[in-house]
Amino acid sequence: MNAHTCSSAAQIVEEARQFAAREIRPLAGKIDANGELPRSLIAKLGERGYLAASWPEEYGGLGLDPVAYGLLTEQIGKACSNTRALLTVQTSLLGETMLRFGTEAQKRFWLPQMARAEKLGAFALSEPHVGSDAKSVQTTYRKEGARYILNGSKKWISFAAIADFFVVIAADSAGQITSFLVEREREGVRTIPMGGMLGNRGVHIAEIHFDEVEVPADNVLGNVGGGFTYVVSTALDHGRYSIAWAGAAIAAEALEAMVTYARSRSQFGEKLHHFQLVKGMIGDAVTKVHAARSLCLSAGEMRRDGAEDAIHQTTIAKYFTSKAAVEVTNDTVQIHGGNGCRSGYPAERLFREAKVLEIIEGTSQIQQQVIAQYGLRKYVVKKQGAVQAGREA
Ligand SMILES: Cc1cc2nc3c(=O)[nH]c(=O)nc-3n(C[C@H](O)[C@H](O)[C@H](O)COP(=O)(O)OP(=O)(O)OC[C@H]3O[C@@H](n4cnc5c(N)ncnc54)[C@H](O)[C@@H]3O)c2cc1C
């Protein structure tokens, strides 16, 4: 039970907004500069149930539906993208996937501890030589009696440097892909923190190396051989929904920074917002922020209602909002002039955080392909009569 058990979804989102303003936004610059999320902040997120916001209450969650969970993600993401990333990984990528494919024993053991931030996880798919072509993972497993033995390396894994366990995607010699829950303390597991990141500097990114790591059969997540089709696809779909909101959130935060600065800075005896070219950037930014948010809301409603095209709408939202965030933050830096190029203002951090969103949970080019395939199926007009009728209408 947590502090929110009796609150409505709207109250929870409003409390998250206030909490983010009070406890997260003031730390955002420091988290980026220091390259770590403070343990005290992670603990507070756990106490408030935010790391399990969309899970059922029986596993320690707040029971928010996808729309309310998206709105909560937006509030955290506006204040600090690194903090929002913790929700993306713990709540969406891992928790929602474990809820669907975990055994009852796995769920009862891991989820309540994750909800309280007593255990953190990481989702280990990408490798040094395998990114977009994720089905080609080179990390291997082989069965020996009742155990599986894992070997290989993962790269770019958010929170791997501090996680207590990893969901590891590996392939056997026949190319069958399976997911395993691997505890950090298992012999043969080693992590190496990765510095020098453009954005997401506070998400404890690391490489993970597996050297003859023994894992019991009980640690298989989902079915043997179902690692990609079920576990990875589901995890990335949930992750994309979270990233879609992350893009909308960064764009909205950047818009506020842009407008505030344009109204306060003067050149040529005028406030910047009086210049038509500056107004043009503000007009575009407002439009993109509204469009990004609308797409996220519609994806959330479709997910809540179990709509057939919910996954596609989520992909479209992720693609659009990450692009919008890059464009809006780019203009925010521009309107800040020299001040946009320095860490005293949030503009440069928002710009760096936005760019990362076009790469994680599937790059923009991969999203474009998926969206195009969907469009090629959905928008083909099969009957000539239907085309004409449609045009006349
Ligand atoms: C900050 C950050 C956090 C991350 N966190 C995690 C994590 O927690 N877990 C995890 O598993 N991974 C994580 N990743 C890895 C991320 O998922 C990959 O970087 C991403 O999938 C892209 O893979 P890649 O970097 O190997 O690029 P590549 O796949 O090598 O792609 C390079 C470029 O080629 C383009 N490209 C590739 N294939 C095609 C194609 N068929 N058609 C057109 N263009 C193509 C891409 O769009 C891209 O522009 C993280 C990465 C970053 C930067």
Span 38-59, pLDDT tens digits: 999 999 999 999 999 999 999 9
Name 110's Cβ contacts closer than 8 Å, sequence gap at least 6: 98, 102, 119, 121, 165, 181
CA of 354 to the centre of ligand 1 (A): 15
State which of 86, 127, 132, 357 you would mutate to test the pocket of ligand 1, scoring each by most atoms of that ligand within 8 A of its C-beta: 132
Q: Which atom of ligand 1 is nearest to the CA of 158?
A: 8
Q: Which atom of ligand 1 is nearest to the CA of 154?
A: 11
CA of 366 to the centre of ligand 1 (A): 9
Q: What percent of the chain has pLDDT over 90?
A: 95
Q: For ligand 1, atom 26, name the residue with the nearest CA.
A: 131
Q: Which atom of ligand 1 is nearest to the CA of 169?
A: 11
- pTM (2 d.p.): 0.96
Domains and CATH numbers, the chain: 9-119 (1.10.540.10), 123-219 (2.40.110.10), 230-378 (1.20.140.10)
The yes-or-no answer on residue 361 being catalytic is yes
For residue 124 and ligand 1, the question of a CB distance below 6 A is answered with: yes
Query: What's the CA gap between 86 and 355, in Å, rounded?
Result: 18
Average pLDDT, the chain: 96
Q: For ligand 1, atom 48, name the residue with the nearest CA.
A: 363
* Segment 206-255, tens digit of pLDDT: 999 999 999 999 999 999 999 999 999 999 999 999 999 999 999 999 99
* φ and ψ of 202, to 5 deg: -100, 15
Say what the pLDDT of residue 166 is.
98
Residue with the larger pLDDT of the pair 196 and 1:
196
For residue 383, is pLDDT > 80? Answer: no
Min mean pLDDT across 2-6, 156-160, 274-278 is at 2-6
Say what the pLDDT of residue 393 is.
32
For residue 74, is pLDDT > 60? Answer: yes
Neighbours of 381 (CB within 10 A): 10
Query: What's the CA gap between 202 and 387, in Å, rounded?
Result: 52
CA of 114 to the centre of ligand 1 (A): 27
Residue with tokens 């993401």: 77
Residue positions counted in the chain: 393
CA of 262 to the centre of ligand 1 (A): 35
- Is the distance from CB of 52 to CB of 63 less than 8 angstroms? no
For residue 132 and ligand 1, the question of a CB distance below 6 A is answered with: yes
* φ and ψ of 64, to 5 deg: -75, 145
- Is the distance from CB of 299 to CB of 319 less than 8 angstroms? no
